[in-house]
Amino acid sequence: MRTYAGHSDAQRSNELYRRNLAKGQTGLSVAFDLPTQTGYDPDHELARGEVGKVGVSIAHRGDMRTLLHDIPLDKMNTSMTINATAAWLLALYIVAAEDEGVAEGQLQGTTQNDILKEYLSRGTYAFPPGPSMRLIADTIAYTVTHVPKWNPINICSYHLQEAGATPVQEIAYSMSNAIAVLDAVRDRVEESLMGEVFGRISFFVNAGVRFVEEHAKLRAMGQLWEALGRERYGVEDPRQLRFRYGVQVNSLGLTEAQPENNVYRIALEALAVTLGRDARARAIQLPAWNEALGLPRPWDQQWSLRLQQILAYETDILEYGDIFEGSKVMDGLVVELVQGARHEMERVADQGGAVEAVDYMKAALVESHRERWQRIESGELTVVGMNRFQETEPSPLTAADDGGILVVDPAVEQERREALEAWRAERDEGKVRAALDALARVAKDDGENIMPASIAAARAGVTTGEWSQTLREAFGEYRAPTGVGEAAAVSSDDVAELRDEVERVSEALGRRLKFLVGKPGLDGHSNGAEQIAVRARDAGMDVVYEGIRLTPSQIATSAAQEGVHVIGLSILSGSHAELIPAVLAALKEAGAGEIPVVVGGIIPEADAAALREAGVAAVYTPKDWDLNRMMRDIVGLVAERNSVPA
């Protein structure tokens, strides 16, 4: 039982962890901020507005030591949600433990370390697919011999569902991903270790509110996993063949409207992964009720922890054997899912495997998500409080002075920059240089394991940004596919009127209405931006969509050069207060200050008012789920700004 936590700097997060452990939490789940996840130091241009926002900022071994202060590392199980830079954060963890006199062989925990889902959904990748798979294989090969109790990778199907995956897609793509990882490791370890490697692979799955089907999904994954171990990798030990998974229940279905209802959703979703013993999660992490509003406060996290404790200690679910044994309905569902997944896995394999099929899978997910959204819009899919039963009394939960969410002190970023400067000033530059040179050499030699050089760099005081930059230079930069190009067009009836209006306004403008959809900063949650881009195209606009991770000056340059009529910016990481004004300023500087800007994201009302004050034409939040209405607003805005009569 744990809650995913961490914010600001190492010291504040350490205090939070120690409080949570005192309340009965049994392990740590570390949330890192986006610069740490994507390999940038707090003083990098792209880190602006993101430092300490969605997690803790860790730039070097000193930060890691502070983060783990007074926490017994020989006993603690630490789960780190870290992917692109997993090898580095593991190196820092090993060195921090070494400083405390704990040997690496005693460490227990998990690095998420799953890169494919970053291309498909979460967006915090740093390197191209090939070298990323090598980093994963290196950490697995290293831990299996040096840190045997470590789970070096947690293959995530979770984020696939968040990106719109159907249960079949969630199973098939995560299993295909596992195959790609295992195949890569097979080249790097002795054959005799493959059983051990297989047994150390764990999964991180999602559980949605259709909890009966979701339970079947987990049983299906268990079956497929065992078959994969036996058939492809020759594993025979039943202990190694067990499908081990942790779970974070669904965030996609959590609503901003009537957010208190999310508590029920979370409870039902938790049942999906606990009800049947044969497919029960080993670790559960529950989101907080207010995730769609902003960052949860400690109290919100406590509320989630209590739900897990009630399930475990008050209910009787742990007292029985598998309650679905012999159920025809459950068995039928499982068979259906296994067959569907096998079929989809073949399609991925036909393209050469998961790495080669990233484009295909991304496009399939964008398409599924689009379909789901259309069903919500048409009312075919009910989301209580959002597209049905919208009437509500004012909620006392969101009436607090803080709006019911946690606000990270904006001074943290400046503090972190200064602390980093001090760290750099105090370390031995010669040693740092030598460690980075050695790292660069290893990076270029595919035959060598990256871990020892990374651990040496951690000892020398190298920073997160320096480690990543060295690898970026060796591996090259990468932009993941956006998947939007292939998305099917919505049926014409739904958008016919909208298209007529786009045509009319375009005709009056002299050229087709052109719309820039941008994602400033490091936030990789691109689902919303992708759906907006696809719908705008379907409405007949020319849409410039460049994917994630753009600097304000990139956005401003694009807007000016492309001659767009309107700009839509999407931010879900909570950094809108810094980044949006920065984009507005960059637009003015690029001579494009007159282009109207709309903003979408998880934006509390107080911030929305401030953004409008700063010149943003409109602010959209998850409660604006009707995309056609949003499009009509945007067309109207362009018409108004260009004096096109209604």
User: What is the distance between the alpha carbons of residues 284 and 275, in angstroms, rounded to a whole number?
Assistant: 13
Enter the tokens of residue 125: 């990748």
436 binds other proteins (CB under 8 A): no
At residue 515, the 3 state secondary structure works out as: strand
Stretch that binds other proteins, among 153-161, 200-208, 417-425, 552-560 (CB under 8 A): 552-560
Enter the tokens of residue 212: 């009966």
Among 260, 356, 503, 624, binds other proteins (CB under 8 A): 503
- Could you confirm whether 523 is annotated as catalytic? yes
At residue 48, the 3 state secondary structure works out as: coil
Contact 556, 583 (CB under 8 A): yes
Contact 15, 9 (CB under 8 A): no
Which residue's CB is nearer to other proteins, number 107 or number 480?
480
30 binds other proteins (CB under 8 A): no
Strand partners, 620: 600
Among 56, 76, 160, 502, binds other proteins (CB under 8 A): 502
Burial status of residue 249 (CB atoms within 10 A of its CB: 0-12, 13-18, 19 or more)? buried
Stretch that binds other proteins, among 34-42, 318-326, 423-431, 467-475 (CB under 8 A): 467-475
Torsion angles phi and psi, residue 518, rounded to 5: -125, 145
Among 226, 562, 626, 633, binds other proteins (CB under 8 A): 562
Stretch that binds other proteins, among 103-111, 209-217, 271-279, 551-559 (CB under 8 A): 551-559
Which residue's CB is nearer to other proteins, number 354 or number 366?
366
Total Cβ atoms within 10 A of residue 531: 22
Strands 514-518 and 283-285: unpaired
- The 125-144 site mask, x for binding other proteins (CB under 8 A), equals ---x----------------
Which residue's CB is nearer to other proteins, number 229 or number 540?
540
Smallest gap from Cβ 187 to other proteins, in A, equals 18
Among 268, 560, 610, 644, binds other proteins (CB under 8 A): 560
The closest of 518, 642, 514, 640 to 580, measured between CA atoms, is 518
420 Cβ contact partners less than 8 Å away, ≥ 6 residues apart: 41, 42, 43, 59, 463
User: What is the distance between the alpha carbons of residues 229 and 243, in angstroms, rounded to a whole number?
Assistant: 10
Enter the tokens of residue 509: 């403008």
Residue whose pair of structure tokens reads 């433990």 in the numeric block: 97
Smallest gap from Cβ 378 to other proteins, in A, equals 18
Contact 453, 438 (CB under 8 A): yes
6 binds other proteins (CB under 8 A): no
Total Cβ atoms within 10 A of residue 395: 11
- Could you confirm whether 158 is annotated as catalytic? yes
Question: Reading across the β-sheet that carries 4-5, which strands appear in turn?
Answer: 4-5, 28-31, 77-81, 108-111, 150-151
Smallest gap from Cβ 533 to other proteins, in A, equals 6
Enter the tokens of residue 75: 């006993």
Among 65, 186, 499, 641, binds other proteins (CB under 8 A): 499
Q: Which of 41, 63, 300, 523 is catalytic?
A: 523
Question: Reading across the β-sheet that carries 283-285, which strands appear in turn?
Answer: 154-156, 202-207, 245-249, 283-285
- Could you confirm whether 519 is annotated as catalytic? yes
460 binds other proteins (CB under 8 A): no
331 Cβ contact partners less than 8 Å away, ≥ 6 residues apart: none
Residue ranges in 581-640 that form contacts with other proteins under rule CB under 8 A: 591
Which residue's CB is nearer to other proteins, number 278 or number 503?
503
Which residue's CB is nearer to other proteins, number 179 or number 543?
543
- The 322-361 site mask, x for binding other proteins (CB under 8 A), equals -------------------------------------x--
User: What is the distance between the alpha carbons of residues 617 and 592, in angstroms, rounded to a whole number?
Assistant: 15
Smallest gap from Cβ 504 to other proteins, in A, equals 12
Contact 34, 54 (CB under 8 A): yes
- Could you confirm whether 44 is annotated as catalytic? no
Which residue's CB is nearer to other proteins, number 302 or number 553?
553
Dihedral angle over CA of 345, 346, 352, 356, nearest 10: -40
Which residue's CB is nearer to other proteins, number 77 or number 553?
553
Which residue's CB is nearer to other proteins, number 479 or number 629?
479
Among 108, 351, 551, 642, binds other proteins (CB under 8 A): 551
Strands 150-151 and 28-31: unpaired
Smallest gap from Cβ 369 to other proteins, in A, equals 15
Torsion angles phi and psi, residue 598, rounded to 5: -115, 155
Q: Which of 159, 217, 362, 565 is catalytic?
A: 159
Torsion angles phi and psi, residue 596, rounded to 5: -70, 145
Which residue's CB is nearer to other proteins, number 91 or number 543?
543
44 binds other proteins (CB under 8 A): no
Stretch that binds other proteins, among 34-42, 88-96, 283-291, 495-503 (CB under 8 A): 495-503
Contact 192, 144 (CB under 8 A): no
Which residue's CB is nearer to other proteins, number 66 or number 554?
554
User: What is the distance between the alpha carbons of residues 614 and 616, in angstroms, rounded to a whole number?
Assistant: 6
Q: Which of 519, 545, 576, 620 is catalytic?
A: 519
- Could you confirm whether 445 is annotated as catalytic? no
561 binds other proteins (CB under 8 A): yes
User: What is the distance between the alpha carbons of residues 334 and 628, in angstroms, rounded to a whole number?
Assistant: 37
Which residue's CB is nearer to other proteins, number 89 or number 484?
484
Contact 575, 519 (CB under 8 A): no
Smallest gap from Cβ 477 to other proteins, in A, equals 7
Q: Which of 17, 142, 158, 173 is catalytic?
A: 158
- Could you confirm whether 93 is annotated as catalytic? no
The count of chain residues that interact with other proteins, using the rule CB under 8 A, is: 48
Residue ranges in 47-106 that form contacts with other proteins under rule CB under 8 A: none
Residue ranges in 526-545 that form contacts with other proteins under rule CB under 8 A: 533-534, 536-545
Contact 13, 71 (CB under 8 A): no
377 binds other proteins (CB under 8 A): no
Q: Which of 525, 542, 545, 607 is catalytic?
A: 525
511 binds other proteins (CB under 8 A): yes
Burial status of residue 101 (CB atoms within 10 A of its CB: 0-12, 13-18, 19 or more)? exposed
Enter the tokens of residue 43: 């003083």
37 binds other proteins (CB under 8 A): no
Among 392, 476, 609, 614, binds other proteins (CB under 8 A): 476
Q: Which residues are catalytic?
A: 4, 158-159, 519, 523, 525
List residues binding other proteins (CB under 8 A).
128, 359, 473-477, 479, 482, 484-485, 489, 492, 495, 499, 502-503, 507, 509-512, 533-534, 536-547, 550-551, 553-554, 556-558, 560-563, 591
